[in-house]
Structure 1
């Protein structure tokens, strides 16, 4: 297992996504996946307070509730960092993201309390603003997050699926008021790059853009480091499964060139496409923590083996340059 640091705290360089745990992935399999991940040295798990409200019978708290039960049963405490997100849970049963709770001060305080109760913790390790709330000034949200940190209810703050200008506005608000700034960013990212003028099929997804990467690099140069966590790094199986075609946004000439380079490096390394993608991300600049969602032990083992794969500098450069 590789390791990295998130603002001084050591975590596994691979994050396990628990979105389906306790719902579309049954309890026994979910527990087995978490156990295998931890046995292999994994210490970073991701969830949200809305997972998975969109499946039949889903209420939106299944993943957090399952993780809380697993932590109690296994006696897991601070050795596993559990990140959660708030703001996207619908306020109306059966509704979608158009009815999200949002990021008002009241919504943030209420949702954080619910998450602490479900996960069975006094302090949330890492709390993200899940997605943008155009109705609430970002200053109100960051102020509410700062209060949670001041009360000892949250250790580290993050933002997910926000446009870069909102990240800058959040940074400015934190600096102006002496608040802790969100230092962990979670976005969709993989080796294949989509056209940014074509919408992704998942309306809630926001992809890493060149502007976002430039923002992270500029912030680091100014002494304000961020950790970038990348969800959907394996494109829901599209790299290796013929029954999972790539989305329309990836239908451009650069995709063929990148896949050719990917296959070359995979053959040289004796690895799968998925493993090379994860290794490329783990060696990325700026640094990236890939967040993988799995539903079987075989899928998890493939991802775990990628943490032992080290690409040469030439291989990494060749992959990056392909377009």
Structure 2
């Protein structure tokens, strides 16, 4: 098990991404995926109040509603639920009033008394950061939120948030959610990891499988004919270096009897300050690979090889 920052949240090092619930996974498929993950020991679910407002017919909060119905139906023990604020069509931005209203709406959809981990989804430069930090702190004081976190913030803004929180006595964030994987490393490793190390924060990286590229399914930059909504995003990584990374993942995974995706998750979860990579599944058949990624132990040599082949260089780019 892995502790998130200096919180009391102790989880299997895997976060099930809820972005697909109400999008590529309907209610029944979502329930089946959640059942399979928790049956396999998974206990950390990530969502956002805006998921999946981009789908025709959806209004936002769709993923939270499905998760809430599942929680009410199953009543699982010790499941940690993280959600986010700032992008819901009805709750845009990070003003104090909006944060409070959005949190209350998320609590109602999830059917829980308190949100375990509450992220500022995207930075909002139109609102003084002091106001946002104070609003998040008030949610903790009032018992609506257990711990706070930030997503998609720059290193400078994370430091600024922490400085404001320290000066005002507000709770410090315990986690950072950045875009981080084997084909997207530099910004996080150069700027975000040092902040996390300095202040004892954990990373919970999203896009851990690079929109599906790190499953090995997409080996061409031509996404034509691909039915998946994520195919275009994945195909862009099918460069010479991207294919070399897949080959290395495949060979190492074969040695452990696990998939390319499980191996990619295993590499990410052992990087400095990482607590749990976020990965989603649109069907039950994908769950076993995610759980393997939380448990398979790569050797030091295997980790070093994956780090080597995925190191960015001007030539490789």
TM-score (norm 1): 0.85
- 1:170-202 CA deviation, whole Å, 9 max, x = no partner? 0000011011011111111111237x7xxxxxx
CA distance in 2, matches of 1:245, 1:103: 31
Alignment of 1:176-215 (within 5 A): 176-193=167-184, 208-215=188-195
The answer as to 2:38 corresponding to 1:38 is: yes
Q: Which one is further off, 55-64 or 13-22?
A: 13-22
Q: For each residue in 1:131-188, what CA deviation from the matched residue of structure 2 results, as whole angstroms up to 9, or x when unmatched?
A: 1111011111010000011111110000001111110100000011011011111111
Alignment CA distance shift 1:262-1:23 (3 Å): closer
* SS at 1:231 equivalent: coil
Q: Which residue of 1 aligns with 2:210?
A: 235
Q: Which residue of structure 2 lines up, in the alignment, with residue 171 of structure 1?
A: 162
The corresponding residue for 2:47 is: 47
Q: What does residue 121 of structure 1 align with? A: 112
SS of the equivalent of 1:128 reads strand
1:63 counterpart = 2:66: no
Q: Is the 8 A contact 1:281 1:288 kept in 2?
A: no
Task: State whether residues 193 and 250 of structure 1, in contact with CA within 8 Å, keep that contact through their aligned partners in structure 2.
Answer: no
SS in structure 2 at match of 1:83: strand
* 5+ long unaligned stretches in structure 2: 219-225, 312-317
Q: Give the secondary structure class of the aligned counterpart of 2:170.
A: coil
Q: How far apart are the structure 1 equivalents of 2:156 and 2:2?
A: 27
User: What CA distance in whole angstroms lies between the structure 1 residues aligned with 2:201 and 2:175?
Assistant: 6
CA distance in 2, matches of 1:74, 1:275: 27
Q: Closer, same or farther in 2 for the Cα pair 1:295/1:249, shift >3 Å?
A: closer
> Partners in 2 of 1:286 and 1:249 — Cα distance?
28
TM-score by length of 2: 0.87
State the partner residue of 1:85.
84
1:16 is matched with which residue? Answer: 16
Q: Deviations over 1:269-306 (max 9, x none)?
A: 33321111011112212224111111011111121122
> Which of residues 282, 285, 309 in structure 1 aligns to 2:296?
309
Give the Cα separation in 2 of the matches to 1:170 and 1:128: 13
Give a deviation string over 1:29-88, Cα, whole Å, max 9, x none.
Answer: 111111111111111001111111111111001111111111111123x51111010111
Conserved? CA contact 1:43–1:80, under 8 Å: yes
* CA–CA separation in structure 1 for the residues paired with 2:103 and 2:96: 11
Partner of 2:148: 157
Structure 1 pair 245–148 and aligned structure 2 pair: CA distance change class (3 A): closer
Which residue is equivalent to 1:143? 134
Whole-angstrom CA distance in 2 between matches of 1:123 and 1:246: 34
Map Cα deviations across residues 85-127 of structure 1 (whole Å, 9 max, x no partner).
Answer: 0111124xxxxxxxx6100111101101111111111211110
RMSD: 2.0
Asked if the contact 2:12–2:294 (Cα under 8 Å) also holds between the matched residues in 1, the reply is no
Question: Do the aligned partners of 2:92 and 2:98 also contact (CA within 8 Å) in 1?
Answer: yes
